[in-house]
Amino acid sequence: MTLVIGRLPSGIRRAVEFWCVLVAASITVYFSWYTAALAWESYKYHDLSPGMVAVPIWIPQSAMLLGLLVLSLALVEELFSILSGKEPSYAGKGEKLLVDDEQDTVVPVEK
């Protein structure tokens, strides 16, 4: 996506970035809502996992819901950031992840 967006004029690039973040935020908010309804239904009907150890299904569903809510919050925050005219937080990060900004050198990776 960076190859396409990076070559666009700034006005069109901002519109494409806004559209992409809007679609991603919409999808994650919808999945968050659906997962919350699913977890509530599992809790209400006392659904248990099949097998030797019967775990209430709402417990892992709640963990998934928490992750989806954090992702939704991050995308909605990014959407408002783009709407307010700020540069997206992910701009330029892909190619420069291991570059130290102060020294402009590559940071060694320990194994």
Sequence spans of domains, the chain? 2-106
Residue 93 is predicted with a pLDDT of 66
Beta bridge partners of 100: 105
| Average pLDDT value for the chain | 87
pLDDT digits (tens, 9 = 90+) for 43-95: 999 999 998 999 999 999 999 999 999 999 999 999 999 999 888 887 766 66
Concatenate the DSSP letters of all residues of 43-72 into one string.
HHTT-B-SSSS--BTHHHHHHHHHHHHHHH
Q: Does pTM surpass 0.85?
A: no
